[in-house]
Amino acid sequence: MSKPINFNLSAELASQLKTSTRKCFERAYEAALLTKGCSYVQGFLVLAKEPYIPIEYSWLELDEAVIDPTPNHFKKPTEEPHYFPAQSLSVKKLKAVVEEAKEDYPDDPPLPVYGNAPYEYYGEVMLGGKEYQDAYEQALAKCQELKQQKVNEAN
């Protein structure tokens, strides 16, 4: 089950970021560097709107709440977004992994981080291990639930 989002802290943190990118991985990385005691999390986001598909995504977790520094998918939410974590990294570990990726693969973006091989496959995209597949399946189930709710409300 995903943690609830703290919309106020998310908006406050988003306004402090220097980057103008809308890419969640880069924004979450920059936000993690500014947020004491947080974890950088990758997984999937589900929104209660069409097309009802899991979105590979990144956010922060602090205490018992999600902090989303890329809030461009909701202006005034009527329903909370749902987050399904696959991987969580401390800021120290995140910085080390990003620096190593920049060194080893300078032509490739260092984010997202997928952990150690062997990787499992999801669709046409190579993702991290079993935890990614599990998070994706949970997110997909939530998408189907939300879609069914919409159908039921329409009838």
**Phi-psi region at 8: left, alpha or beta (left = phi > 0; alpha = psi -120 to 50):** alpha
Domain assignments of the chain as residue spans, ordered by start: 7-154
CB 60 within 8 A of CB 91: no
Q: What is the pLDDT of residues 48-95, one digit of tens each?
A: 888 999 999 999 999 889 999 987 655 555 567 899 999 999 999 999
Whether 143 contacts 53, CB under 8 Å:
yes
DSSP-derived pairing of the beta strands 65-67 and 82-90: unpaired
pLDDT tens for each residue of 97-131:
999 989 988 998 899 887 665 565 555 565 677 88
Helix (H, G, I), strand (E, B) or coil at 127: coil
Q: What is the Cα–Cα distance from 51 to 39, expressed in whole angstroms?
A: 29
